[in-house]
Amino acid sequence: MCMNVAQPCSVLRVVPLVLLASFAGSLQALIAGRARVIFVRHVPQSVPEEKWLRANGVLSRDVRLGWYRILDFRPTNSETF
């Protein structure tokens, strides 16, 4: 818990079966076997990884939060990516 109100802090909660990652490399390798991908971006235009997710998955939720866009993808024709 954050006790010092003068300095901001954050709390990380670990949820079973959830992977939180920042990546540079192969998106497909990172999400292989996952049934859901939540993609967060802070740039106005689509990036190649988002385009791949749109081509290979279904967008089930799209939320704008300030400068951020939170996209929730599910696989199209299988249970996992």
The overall average pLDDT reported for the chain is 77
Q: Rounded to an integer, what distance in angstroms lies between the CA atom of residue 32 and that of residue 61?
A: 20
User: Using CA atoms, how far apart are residues 12 and 25, in angstroms rounded to an integer?
Assistant: 24
pLDDT in tens, 52-75: 999 999 999 999 988 889 899 999
Q: Does 19 have pLDDT greater than 80? A: no
- What residues pair up with 72 in beta bridges, in sequence order? 38, 61
User: Is residue 79 over pLDDT 60?
Assistant: yes
Task: Give the DSSP H/E element, type plus range, for residue 64.
Answer: strand 57-65
Name the β-bridge partners of 38. 72
The reported pTM is: 0.69
Are 59 and 71 within 8 A, CB to CB? yes
